[in-house]
Each structure stands twice: as C-alpha cells, then as structure tokens.
Amino acid sequence: MDNAVKVMLVGVFCVVSAIFIVFADFNGSNKSAASSAGESQGGVDDRNTAEVKAIEDDLAVIYNDLNAVQALLVANTQLEMLVIHGPIEVELNNLQRTAIKRLVVQRENSLVSEKYHAALSALSKGEPRLAGQLLDRAVMTSAPESLEIGQLYREKAALWFVKDEAKSLFASQRSVEIDPENKVGLSLLGYLYYRQGALLKSENIYLTLLDLAEDAPEFQAMAYNILGLVFQSRGQMDQAAKSFKKSLRIYKKLHYSEGMVDLYVNLGNVSKFKKEFDQGLTYFEKALSIETQLERVERLVILYKELALLSRAIGDVHQEKYYSRRGEALEKKQGMHAGMVSAYNSLGNVSETRGDFEQAIEFYERALTISKERNDSEALAMSYANLGQVFKSKGKLDKAASYFEQSLALGKGLGNRHSMASDYGNLGLVHRRRGNLDQAIKSHEKSLALNKSLGDKEGIADNYTNIGNVYHVSGELDKSIVFYEKALSIHQRLENQKGIAKVYSDLGRVAVIQGDLDQALEYFEASLLIEEGLDNQERIAIQFGNIGTVQYTLGNTVEAQILHEKALTIYQALGDKRGLARGNGNLGLVYRTQGDLGQGIWHVKKAIALYEELGDKNGLASNYLNLGLMYHTSGDLDRAKKYYEMALEIFEALGRVEGLASVYGNLGLVYQHRKNMDKAVRLYKKALKLNQKLGRKEGIAIQYGSLGVVAEEQENYPQAISYYQKALALNEELGRKEGIAIQYGNLGNVYQSQGDLGKAKKNWQISLSLFTEIGAELEIKKLKHWMSETRLKSSI
C-alpha cells in the first residue's frame, strides 16, 4: 500500500471514530446518568455495552469500503446542517449507519455487486435513490410479516429524510404498519408528521409512544419535546411550556446535555412569543452555559445571536453589543464554516414559516455573506433562492425576481437542473403576481421541461398546477381545467394526498366562477376531508373559507358567517396574516349582505391593512373593490368610485380578468346613479363581455340585471323585463338566493311602473321572502317601504 493511500485511510479512520462518538453520545448519556444517581447499573450498562458493540461492528464493516465511509460522512453532515432535534438526529444516524452496513454486506454476498457499488457511490454524493431500490428488493425477499421488513423501511426513511421528506414519510408509515410498537419507528414517523404540519397525527403518535416507553426515559423525553413543538405550532403556548418542562426534567436526570440545550431554547422561544423577554433571556443564557461546555461552535454562534436580539428587546444595549461581538468573534474563528450556512438557512426557514420575515431575511443574509466568503456557488444559489422566497412572501416582487435570477444563473453554471427547475418555477410565480402572464407561462414551461428531464413526477404535477393557475387568472378556464386535471392525475398515481387536496381546491375555484356551485362544494368538501386527515390547519382554514364563500353565494349567510369565523380562528392561532386578511375580507361581505355596513367596512379595512403589510396587490385590489361596494351601498358614490378605480388600476396591471369584470360592472352602477346612462351601459357591456369570456354565470346575471335597470329608467319596460328574466333564470340555475331576490324585486318595480300593481306585489312578496331567509335587513326595509307605498297608492 503506498503512503498516500495509508494517509487517506488514517484520515478516514479518524473521522469515522468521531462519528462513532456522535452516534454513541445519547446512549452513553443514559449510562452516566445512572452512575451519578447511584442506581443499580446492570441493565443499563449491559444495554449500552451492547449498543456500543453494535456500532463498533457496523463501523468495522463500513470501514472496508471508502464509498461507504464517504456515504456515512455525507449522511452525518447533511443531518447536522438541518439543525433538527438532537435525539431524532441520533436515531436517523443509527438507521443510516445500519443501512450503509447492510449494503456493504449484501454487495460482498451478491452476484451483482456493481449495483451495490453504484448505490454506495451515489449515497456518497447524497443521492439515496439506488440505495432505496436495493432496500425495496430486500423487502421483497424477506419473509412476509417479518419485523425485519419494518427495519428495512426505517432505514429507507432515514436515507430519504434529507433528500425527500415525502418519500421518508411513506417509508416510515410502512415501517409502523409492520412493526407498530417499535419506538424508533414511531418517533421518526411522529417527527415527520410534525415537520409536514400534520400536527394531530404527530400528537397521536407521540402519545402512543409515551404509553410504550414507560421503561425508556429517553423516548419519553423525546415525545414530550416534540409534543411541545406541536402545541407551540398551534399557538398553545402554555401547553407547550408544560410539555417542554416535562422533557427537560427527564433530560436532567439522564444528564443529557444536548437535550437540555434544545429544551432551554424551546422554552426561550415560548417566552419570546409571549413577549416575556426577561424570562426568554434567562432560558437562552442557561442554554448558552451548557452549549459552551459542548463546544458546538455553530450552535454557540446562533445562541449569541438570539441573546443579542433578546437583549435588544429588553433595551439592554450594552448586553446586546456584548453578545453580538462574541458571536461575530466565534464566526471568524470558525472560518465561515459551511455548517453555519445551513444553520442560518434552517433558522431562516423557521422564521419565515412563523411569518417573521425580517428575522428570516437577517438569517438568510448571514448565510449569503458566509457563502460569498467561502466562494461556495451551490450554497450561494440556495441563499439567493431563500431570499427570493421571503421577498415573494412580503410582496416585494422586484427584489424576489432579482434573487431568483441570481440563483438561476449560478444553477446554470453548476449544471444543477433541480435548482434551475425550482428557480424557473419561482420566477413564474413572481411573473403571475406581477401580471406578466405570458412570461409566467414561459418560466413554468422551462421548469416543466427540466422536471421532465429529471423524471421528477411531483415537480411536473406542481408545474401543471402553476400553469393552470396562470390560465385561471387570464380567464382561460378551459385551459386551466386541462392543466389542473393533468396535475391531479399525477398526484393520484403518486398517492400524494396533499397535492390531490390542493388541485381539488383549484378546480373548486374554477367551478365557482363558472357558476357550478354544487360541483364547487363537492371539490371543496373533498379537499377539506383530505386536509383534515393530514391535519393541515392552514389548508383546513382555506377550505372553510371556500365553502363559506359558496354558502354566501347561495344566500346562506348564517352558515357562511360560521365558516368564515372558523377559518379566522385557525388563522389567528397560526399567526397567518394572509389568512387573516382573506378571512376578514370574506366576513366583511357577509356583514354587508346582512345589512351591518359598519361591521362590513371594519372587516374589509382590516383586510386592506394586512394586504398592504404583505404587499399582496391582488388581495388589495379585491378588498378595494369590496370597500367601494360598502360605500356604494351606503350611498357614498364619491368614495365608492374612488375605491373602484383603485381596484381597477391594480387589476389592469395584473391582467386579472375576473376582477376587471367586477369593477366595470360596479363603476357602471355609479355612472347610472349619476344619470350618465351611456357610460353606464358601455361599462356594463364591457363587464358582460368579460364574464361571457370567463363563462362566469354569476357575473353575466349581474350585468343583465344592471342593463335591465338602465332600460327601466329609460322607460323601455319590455327590454327591462327581458334583461331581468335572463338574470333571474341564471340566478335560479346557480341557486343564488340573493340574485333571485333582487330580480324578483326589479320585476316588481317594472310591473308597478306599468300600473300592474297585482304583479308588482306578487314579485315583491317572493323577493321579500327570499331576503328574509338570507337576513338581508337593508333590502327587507326597502321592499317593505315600496309595498306600503303601493298599498297607499292603490287605496287612493
């Protein structure tokens, strides 16, 4: 063996030894805890000795293959970069190690060793697909109902964890189906559910684990910790703190320092959320005290950063500077380590998910700075893409586009088709929100072509959905449906419930525009059923809102109000500003129909304030339109016109055909009330044309009604009756009680003008009955006034 190879192997052995220490650490902590507490150590010692011996045996096998060693190093590094819960990281490392050992052993005993060599080589580059296929083959050759199959699926879940959480989740689910009492399998499945946002499922898994782990305190501590994170995600901060404290007590008994750090940080985050900054500072200082002894430099830097922010929050400038300087000094000493990039990106992701965009930007920019210092193009591209995402969420679309384009340029230079596909997709979303619909289609088609070349089925489905959304905005609903159905077909083949639910929701929105409210309800309810199964609270709230909007259109305002309030409750718990904006806008319309204009205006103005904060132009335009409608209803035509024109300007810039149709119709009403009939008719006909293009029956009915009012005022009664009857027929087809009531009221007015008071009263009675049913107080008062005047006239 030449000297170069000897040196390389010695280096590899040193690193593998370091990995061994990391893997053994959590189990070793149990041993030291028992010793320090003076307990009988026989059972614990024996178990730990066996575990350490198993790790040694695995590493001895892995050490014989350089690809296997590299694969283990890569797996370990990738998990470290995710900054996940410590004990989960240990279990994942253990599973990855046993999977890699399995591949080495099977390669030595296989007639097709090149397949195993290729799989290990791919794993050494962070690609688990081939290894997963070989584990699937092992499943097929195992005895049916064998618990070994459960272990194979756990190993597969661990290999996929970093690369594709959906595949990891599927493998974890299979492992628990086969081996339902395996604590490692349950802990991994519960954690994946938590990361996917399926909080109820995660909670149930960890409650089950607590029942099974009476003699396994390390699993009890893990369960209480993740349960705390679940409660925290729901906004149940008191329950979260109780759960974290239970976990902390166990880790203290186990003398498990890494777990104690995690818990002090979690308790600190709860205190930050509750604005209890002094208490938060205390928890983070306790975390720092332990972390200093562990000498994990990257985590120390993060803790100094958090302590500086908390010091700023309590107004202690001196302490803020102290912590900031300590963090910066450590960063320099660390030499801008690559792990810091991933750590800052992970913290940025967490901040972004919580809606704290400014803190997310701060973390992403730190990652960007380190990536530039290291001249690391791949990390640089990721940081640009992350910044693009957060600025897109803030509605700063020019900045978002700039960052995505910089990420794309680097991806092209690296030949990284995955990142290029993602960047083109994100640019497509930005172009759609800017109103550059042709450019949006081009970007999504480039992303689609790349995903097809990669064979990324889920990516292809997302591309089809995004293209469908562009056609939805442009009013080309038939094309939109074609692409949604293509996406749905792929999601169904992949059994991707999240994707299926999303497409059902999109198809429901199209059905609403087309006036097929029964079909819309069917889609929204199917989507809701799936989202409830996934325990995706945000999407559950969206479906409550969608179903509430259909009920509102049908005239069921009480049911609509209940659903929109349910949605708002969830959004408030999640701290979801976009959802709160959407929910307040919807509730405002319900209150307007019920005659409570004060409440209606209050909710719509709240929605506008939130959309302004988010920079969401489409949301702003929709609510300017709604606010104009409120003032129009109150008779304030100047304010109504002002808000309609503000909405019009944005809808024109965005190319939002549906919005344009609504604004033209409402502006027509303003000009009609001001007796400018020619302009009113021109606007009504523009609105009618756009609604016909969209196939939007509700909009067509509204414009027929408006044209009928003009004809009536011009005393062209036959023409007015014709328009009102067309509008009535469409509203009856749609089941729109409010629309039906309006047209019966209008027909009553025409018959009164023609002197046919019997027909007038008959139509008004039907209208009054329907308005009473939906609780439209303003319209009820108006009709009763007309009917009393008619009775007076008929008695003279």
Does 279 score more than 90 pLDDT?
A: yes
Q: Which amino acid is at 645?
A: E
* Residue whose tokens read 């200093």: 292
Q: Side-chain half-sphere of 768: how many Cα atoms within 13 Å?
A: 16
pLDDT of residue 687: 92
E strands present in 34-144: none
pLDDT of residue 15: 35
pTM for this model (two decimals) = 0.60
* Range from 135-144, 419-428, 597-606 carrying the lowest mean pLDDT: 135-144
Closest CA to 725 of 741, 744, 700: 744
Alpha-carbon torsion, ordered 48, 49, 54, 56, to 10 deg:
120
Question: Could you read off the pLDDT of 362-395 as tens digits, one per residue?
Answer: 888 988 988 888 788 888 998 999 999 999 887 7
Question: Could you read off the pLDDT of 446-466 as tens digits, one per residue?
Answer: 999 998 988 888 889 999 999
Six-digit token string for 303:
């803790």
pLDDT of residue 42: 35
pLDDT of residue 47: 44
pLDDT of residue 755: 87
In this structure, are residues 400 and 392 in contact, taking their beta carbons and an 8 Å threshold? yes
Percent of the chain at pLDDT exceeding 70: 87
pLDDT of residue 789: 67
With vertex at residue 452, the alpha carbon angle to CA 448 and CA 457, rounded to the nearest 5 degrees, is: 95
Q: Which residues contact 443 (CB under 8 A, 6 or more apart)?
A: 424, 425, 427, 428, 431
Q: What is the mean pLDDT of residues 584-597?
A: 91
Q: How far apart are CA 491 and CA 499, in angstroms?
A: 6
108 compared with 668, residue with greater pLDDT: 668
Q: What is the mean pLDDT of residues 318-332?
A: 84
In this structure, are residues 222 and 85 in contact, taking their beta carbons and an 8 Å threshold? yes
What sections of 514-636 are H helices per DSSP?
517-534, 537-553, 557-574, 577-593, 597-614, 617-634
Question: Could you read off the pLDDT of 44-55 as tens digits, one per residue?
Answer: 344 455 555 666
The strand pairing partners of 198, in sequence order, are 536
Alpha carbon distances (Å) from 584 to 581, 608, 610, 629, 768: 5, 9, 10, 15, 28
Q: How far apart are CA 740 and CA 467, in angstroms?
A: 36
Buried b (16+ CB within 10 A) or exposed e, 326-341: bbeebbeeeeebbbbb
Buried b (16+ CB within 10 A) or exposed e, 600-612: bbbbbbbbbebbe
Does 56 score more than 80 pLDDT?
A: no
Q: How far apart are CA 177 and CA 775, in angstroms?
A: 51
In this structure, are residues 432 and 470 in contact, taking their beta carbons and an 8 Å threshold? yes
Closest CA to 661 of 622, 634, 633, 630: 622
Q: How far apart are CA 378 and CA 58, in angstroms?
A: 32
